[in-house]
Chain A
Amino acid sequence: MTETLTDRVSREGTTVAHTELKLEDESFLTDDFVRQLINVGEVDILVGLPTHNNARTICPIVRTIQSGILQAFPRERAVIINVDGGSRDGTPELVTGISIDDVRPASNLYALRTLPSISTRYASSPASGVSLRTILAAADLLRAKACVVISPESANVESEWISKLLRPIYRENFDLVTPTYRRHKFEGLLVTNLLYPMVRALYGMRIREAFAPEFGFSSRLGSQFLGQNNWHDGSDGAGIELRFTLAAVKAGYRIGQSFLGEKDRVQRHASDLVPALRQTVGTLFSVLESDFPAWNAVVGSQPIPTTGSEQEFLLEPMRINRKRLREMFSTGVAELESVFRTILSPATLVELQRIARLGEEEFRYSSELWVKTVYEFAASYRKSVISRDHIIQALAPLFRGRVFTFLMENRGGSANDVENNIEGLCLEFERLKPYLLEQWKSRE
């Protein structure tokens, strides 16, 4: 249907206010990429696809994305932008090779118009900060109204994800859409036991996955973040997704979440915990200082509009080495005493040492103790009592102890029980927020 002039003004009016792209930002895009962008021209929908050596799975994923776009937005101008971090297996060529246009032989997908797939190499090794920055710059230059980032690490990408993450942005004026998943109740405990409750308690919004590999965002938010984020802070941008979400929260953008379905269980090892902590908790702690004005006065939390379920749990039994978790906790508490002494308050440390001595049956890392632990870590991080990276590493054994307690408490529970327990933990984080503020000030 034709839109009236007023429709277009009100739709475009809000996007005109986006920050003008600074010259220094533009220059980090390669000439070849800029030429490709010129040829693509203005688009309505942009899909960012960061890759690194994904040749094995990338073609079906791109086809799925294409079919998702064609189903949900058949008439809109769209583009798939692959930002590649130095693949050596030909991933970028595979992506551009299945572009939908009149040069290549027709695929099974029927498309009203050209749906280009273009690619650029942003670095010789993956760096999520640079890849997101490239995507944001491209979205800004192409004036894309709604954008989504899809990670090819999620092997079970579905075409509906495009609609679920973009429709609220394109048609309902949302600025950020984060995903929610169906997971096994014991997966993603770093999210359910730390990230989600802490972001919720501090920033006042119940965003379940503030650090997610796939999310949708509007041009307003993208352009603002592109212009205002400090891209040259020396880190390669690990955890940039979390920064992005928190920036949106801070600036009062409209945030929603969409249920995407089952989160693919990527095979990981226990040794992946420290890098995960660095990316998530490290990032969170590092923004707390600058975000202080935004979160210190917030009390309680608000739910955000959600399409589909907020969280679903799979309950099938899992064989987990619980004993090892508890042992690593106890060993950690014992061996790292000197480190903990500089980070934790004496009372907390004593309590931790006490429970470390308990047997498996009596062991319990209570919610309150865990919350206090996390808050004290946050305050110490701010002061940099020791190297910040070491503070993060020191959290790992304590987290394992918490995981153990979570496993024990939710052993036989139904999905509802698990959800209630998580909700209880969140409320504890909210209740003890004054404690954080106290710790924050006391270390001044």
Chain B
Amino acid sequence: MREMIVSELTLAVDELARGFAHYLPRLIVMLILAFVGWIIAYLAKAVLRSILRLIKFDKLSENTGASQLLIKASLPSATEMLSRFVFWVVWLGFFMLGVSVLGILGLQDQIARFFLFLPRLFVAMFLMFFGLLAASFFSRAALLAAVNANVPSPRVLSMTVRSIIIVFVLSIVFEELGLAEQTMLVAFGIAFGALMLALAIAFGIGGRDLAQSFLEKKFVRGRKEENEDELSPL
């Protein structure tokens, strides 16, 4: 019995050693890849950062209002963020490559899927960026227009516009990422429709008085305006 155990152990150790010896080179390759990848990622980050600084990407993103968001979120500048992101993606890519060398079966597929997923991720981020941009722009435009037209509660209007746009953008982003696509779309549709219906009801039935006084204020004010001399700015 002792011999059997010893021989089994020996066999097991042998197999382990063999397996280890089998995987070791691959492990070493993986580590090398990870290391090389880290260097390349670092270089890429540095290069990208220089390029972005050169084209004054910070300034551009400042224009879009994204910088303000980042500052609010206590995040570093857009250039930095983007550089770091690229660093992580590149490094991760190499790491994944290294892991794939290990030859672990299920992992291969997942890694492949990861790489396939990357472009969509980029598109989603792109959409998010510009979506936030648009939301910021249009909400501000609505705010200014409302203030200058003397419409009551301009900030509410501005927020509403921003929310609608963000929700819309989010739903598109989720669809792009392939996460709960239908759900998001439907949810957005329902939400938007509900909002419209609510407004209709408010004006039509329930909030009749409110709507009436709102309209009255608009019209009556208009009439009062006619009785007064209007100043021409030029």
Instruction: State the A residues within 8 Å of B (CB).
Output: 186-191, 211, 265-274, 276-277, 280, 318-321, 324, 327-328, 331-332, 335-336, 339, 342, 384-387, 390, 393-394, 396-397, 399, 403
Contact = CB atoms under 8 A, between A and B. Distances in A.
Interface in B130-178: 137, 140-141, 143-150, 154-155
Contacts of A276: 233-234
Given A189-B233, A320-B228, A331-B154, A385 B62 contact: yes
Contact of A393 (B137, B144, B228): B144
B74 interface: no
B3 interface: no
Contacts of A272: 232-233
B148 A189 contact: no
Contacts of B62: 385
Given A393-B145, A396-B148, A188 B154 contact: no
A265 B140 contact: no
A442 to B, nearest CB: 15
Interface of B: 62-63, 65, 68, 137, 140-141, 143-150, 154-155, 224-225, 227-234
Nearest to B227: A319
Contacts of A394: 144
B234 A190 contact: yes
Contact of B148 (A188, A271, A280, A319): A271
Most chain A CB inside 10 Å of its own CB: which residue of B65, B225, B229, B231: B231
B189 to A, nearest CB: 30
Contacts of A189: 231, 233
A272 B140 CA distance: 20
Contacts of A191: 233-234
Nearest to B158: A335
A280 B233 CA distance: 11
Contacts of A324: 150
Contact of B228 (A267, A319, A327): A319
Contacts of B68: 342
Contact of B231 (A187, A328, A336, A396): A187
Interface class of chain A by DSSP: helix
A265 B230 CA distance: 10
A339 B234 contact: no
Contacts of B141: 387, 390, 393
Contacts of B227: 319
A186 B150 contact: no
Residue of A191, A280, A320, A335 most packed against chain B (CB within 10 A): A335
Nearest to A266: B232
A341 to B, nearest CB: 9
B147 A331 contact: yes
B140 A397 contact: no
Contacts of A332: 147-148
A386 B230 contact: no
Given A331-B150, A336-B147, A397-B148, A390 B232 contact: no
A188 B231 CA distance: 8
A389 to B, nearest CB: 8
A331 B146 CA distance: 10
Contacts of B230: 267-270
B143 A335 contact: yes
Nearest to B221: A324
Contacts of B149: 271
Nearest to B139: A338
13 contacts: A191-B233, A268-B231, A319-B227, A324-B150, A328-B147, A328-B150, A331-B154, A332-B148, A336-B143, A336-B147, A386-B63, A387-B140, A399-B233
A318 B229 contact: yes
Contact of A188 (B65, B147, B224, B232): B232
Given A187-B232, A332-B148, A339-B143, 4 more contacts: A320-B229, A336-B147, A342-B68, A394-B144
Nearest to A280: B234
Given A335-B154, A339-B140, A387-B137, A320 B231 contact: yes
Contacts of A336: 143-144, 147
Nearest to A275: B233
A318 B231 CA distance: 9
A208 to B, nearest CB: 12
A180 to B, nearest CB: 14
Contact of A265 (B65, B143, B154, B232): B232
Nearest to A190: B233
Contacts of B155: 335
Nearest to A339: B140
Instruction: For the complex of A and B, list the 4 residue pairs with the smallest distance between their C-beta atoms, beginning with the closest.
Output: A190-B233, A393-B144, A268-B232, A318-B229
A386 B63 CA distance: 5
B140 A386 contact: yes
B63 A339 contact: no
Contacts of B140: 339, 386-387, 390
Given A268-B232, A385-B62, A274 B137 contact: no
A270 B146 CA distance: 13
